[in-house]
Amino acid sequence: HRLDMEDDKEILASSLRSFVDSSMNNFKSIKTKQAKLSTRRALESFVYGHGHGAIWATLKEESKKDEDSVERFKSLGFINPKHLDITCLEGGEETVEKLLDNPIQALLSIEMFFSPYEKLQRVLKVYHGVNAALSAALNKGGGKEKLPSADDVLPTLILTLLKAKPAKIVSNLRMIEVYSSADNLRGEAGYAFTNLYGALQFLMDLKMEEPENLSISPEEFRKGLEQYREAQASRTNARAESSSTATAEGSVESPKKIVEMPVSEIRDARLRGEQIDMDWARKWQQEHAGDVDAAPAGEQTEQEGGSESALPDGFVRS
């Protein structure tokens, strides 16, 4: 059942992207690049808005984790900048709330948007807001401008999550990961997404069943955060070495491909009186699986490469 749900996510995501692409190809009167981009964004918002129910039906496992995440945020509400070693933010609760107001509001607004692109832009706004807050805190005394350290971004994102307590962050981030195009998950937006996903995972990995963790000292918490960073770095290096070795030996397994479904196939099936649902889509994918050759060993298609790189180290595709 769990594998079927993962297939449903991939099939629906592929079908929606294919529908938007095919529709855009039919807009012959739109000439300028900006007009095409604006039309695509509007179409995506419309399509994903109307498909919201079907999309969220594929995210039931993540929705269950949402409830756990909210309880965890509440239990870890005692954590402050000192625990996270963010010295520039150690100015009292009111000061922290004011500095982080913009990224907190951006974080809470993610679930108000429908398309993965729109949601990802809110994630990017969270990231920009965190950097702006750190810059403001570092330069409040004047003098030569100081820039935020990359080491401060993850802890500040953790603090932002705890302050905001977003109700559906697990399912929203998973929706972005699965339904976004590879291009959208590259660059700064992809980096922001990876950092926010990593901050959430750190909080979800804390062992809450141990009572002492609910009153952990700043020193112990910083030690745990540092160990998490080291573990991430080790996993990154191990994965890179494994990938390099496998490529050299020619043993990289060809990735499973999702065949893009033309809109005409759906229209023709409806005219034939067929019921268009997940079972129909899964059957269509199986019948047309041989239409697209898998990428050669050691290579990845643009979409697959982007999708794989979007998931932070230490995460598994559950």
Write the CB contacts of 247 (distance below 8 Å, at least 6 apart in sequence): 297, 298
Q: How confident is the model at residue 186 (pLDDT cuts 50, 70, 90)?
A: confident
Write the CB contacts of 79 (distance below 8 Å, at least 6 apart in sequence): 158, 159, 162, 221
Domains of the chain, earliest start first: 65-246 (1.20.1050.80)
Measured distance CA(311)–CA(198) in Å, rounded: 9
Measured distance CA(122)–CA(113) in Å, rounded: 9
Higher pLDDT, 124 or 210: 124
| pLDDT of 173 | 96
Write the CB contacts of 212 (distance below 8 Å, at least 6 apart in sequence): none
| pLDDT of 83 | 83
Measured distance CA(243)–CA(237) in Å, rounded: 10
From residue 48, alpha-carbon distances to 15, 19, 150 in Å are 11, 11, 34
Query: Do residues 119 and 113 make contact, with C-beta atoms less than 8 angstroms apart?
Result: yes
Give the mean model confidence (pLDDT) for residues 96-102: 91
Query: Do residues 126 and 192 make contact, with C-beta atoms less than 8 angstroms apart?
Result: yes
Q: How confident is the model at residue 133 (pLDDT cuts 50, 70, 90)?
A: very high
The structure tokens listed for 296 are 């050669």
| pLDDT of 141 | 72
| pLDDT of 252 | 39
pTM for this one? 0.67
Query: Do residues 30 and 39 make contact, with C-beta atoms less than 8 angstroms apart?
Result: yes
Measured at the CA of 302, the angle between CA 301 and CA 307, to 5 degrees, comes to 100
Give the mean model confidence (pLDDT) for residues 213-230: 62
Query: What value does the mean pLDDT of the chain take?
Result: 76
Higher pLDDT, 29 or 16: 16
Give the mean model confidence (pLDDT) for residues 40-64: 92
Which letter does DSSP use for residue 206 in this model?
S
Q: Of all residues in the chain, what percent carry a pLDDT higher than 70?
A: 64
**To the nearest 10°, the Cα dihedral for 45, 48, 50, 56?**
-140
Higher pLDDT, 73 or 151: 73
Q: How confident is the model at residue 313 (pLDDT cuts 50, 70, 90)?
A: very low
Tens digits of residue pLDDT in 21-34? 999 888 878 888 89
The structure tokens listed for 158 are 């953790």
Write the CB contacts of 136 (distance below 8 Å, at least 6 apart in sequence): 99
Q: How confident is the model at residue 138 (pLDDT cuts 50, 70, 90)?
A: confident
Higher pLDDT, 19 or 248: 19
Higher pLDDT, 314 or 151: 151
Q: Label residue 92 left, alpha or beta by phi (over 0 means left) and psi (-120 to 50 means alpha).
A: left
Higher pLDDT, 126 or 5: 126
